[in-house]
Amino acid sequence: MRRGVGLGAIQKHKLEQAKYTNIGNEIQENQIEQMTKQLEVFRVHLEDFATKHKNEIKKNGEFRRQFQDMCATIGVDPLSSGKGFWSVLGIGDYYYELAIQIVEVCLATNTKNGGLISLDELRSKLIKARGQSRLHQEISKDDLLRAAQKLKIFGSGFSVVSVGNGQYMVHSVPGELSMDHGAILQLLSTKNQSFISVKSLCSQLSWKEDRAKQALEQMLDQGLSWVDLQDDDAVYYFPSLFTIASSTDE
């Protein structure tokens, strides 16, 4: 019996596997090194681009959004880079300042809307509050969404709620909005209306009456809506959606 031949073949196979593993590791390391060099080249070009178009980035909201997207592709976040080259652009300061102004508008309006305001209304009030001297610096929806992300440091007090069709609302009071609350806001936003009854909500979302009434009552308790009890089927009004409904009627 030639047992030695079998053992030798096994050892040879293991050596070949180890060799291929080493070669694979070398190739992977080379690829990572090349990608790192490419990203560094992209970063340098991005800095040159930012320097050349600094004023355009600050003034043009759409141009600013495209620049942010370019930064994201190579893992650069000028909003959180408060030192070095990116601090010269002042983009981070712009969004922090905008975030503070968002808080001011939300606090000034929460007695009327219960702490829920549409992004469009928020944008209009911010433009008005910033005054004529700053109208040259456009505030886009993308700017507001990015600035609102910084408000997460306040916990559940501030959040951005998507209500469909590219529409958003800013929630600025303590307490979480449930999925049912979000579904109600999305339904009303889609229908371009600011009020709904329990019966109508059950019909449109195929909910049971207890579920619909509980969700609407919770939003009423949070100050997000008003209720009209004159009819047998109570009607819940959402002041934060008044501007959406009125702009559609016009």
Give 49-62 pLDDT, tens digit per residue: 666 766 766 666 67
Residue 197 β-bridge partners = 235
Inter-residue contact 116 to 171 (CB < 8 Å): yes
Domain ranges of the chain: 177-250
111 token code pair: 């007695």
pLDDT at 107: 84
- Secondary structure (3-state) at 229: coil
- What architecture is the 177-250 domain classified under in CATH? Orthogonal Bundle (1.10)
Q: What is the pLDDT of residues 16-34, one digit of tens each?
A: 676 667 666 666 666 666 6
CA 27 from chain centre, in angstroms, equals 38
Q: Is 10's pLDDT higher than 50?
A: yes
pLDDT category of residue 227 using cuts at 50, 70 and 90: very high
Inter-residue contact 105 to 125 (CB < 8 Å): yes
> What CA–CA distance (Å, rounded) separates 29 from 46?
25
pLDDT at 16: 67
- Of 15 and 200, which is predicted with more confidence? 200
pLDDT category of residue 9 using cuts at 50, 70 and 90: low
Q: What are the angstrom distances between the C-alpha of 40 and each of 32, 35, 47, 144, 228?
A: 12, 9, 11, 30, 62
Inter-residue contact 195 to 236 (CB < 8 Å): yes
Longest dimension (CA), the chain: 101
CA 195 from chain centre, in angstroms, equals 26
Q: Is 85's pLDDT higher than 60?
A: no
> What CA–CA distance (Å, rounded) separates 154 from 173?
10
Q: Where are the beta strands (DSSP E) in the chain?
A: 116-118, 159-164, 167-171, 195-197, 226-228, 235-237
- Of 125 and 148, which is predicted with more confidence? 125
Inter-residue contact 241 to 194 (CB < 8 Å): yes
Inter-residue contact 174 to 112 (CB < 8 Å): no
> What CA–CA distance (Å, rounded) separates 106 from 114?
9
Q: What are the angstrom distances between the C-alpha of 249 and each of 165, 193, 236?
A: 18, 10, 20
Mean pLDDT of all residues in the chain? 75
**Per-residue pLDDT averaged across 77-95, rounded?**
56
By DSSP bridging, strand 226-228 and strand 167-171 are unpaired
CA 117 from chain centre, in angstroms, equals 15
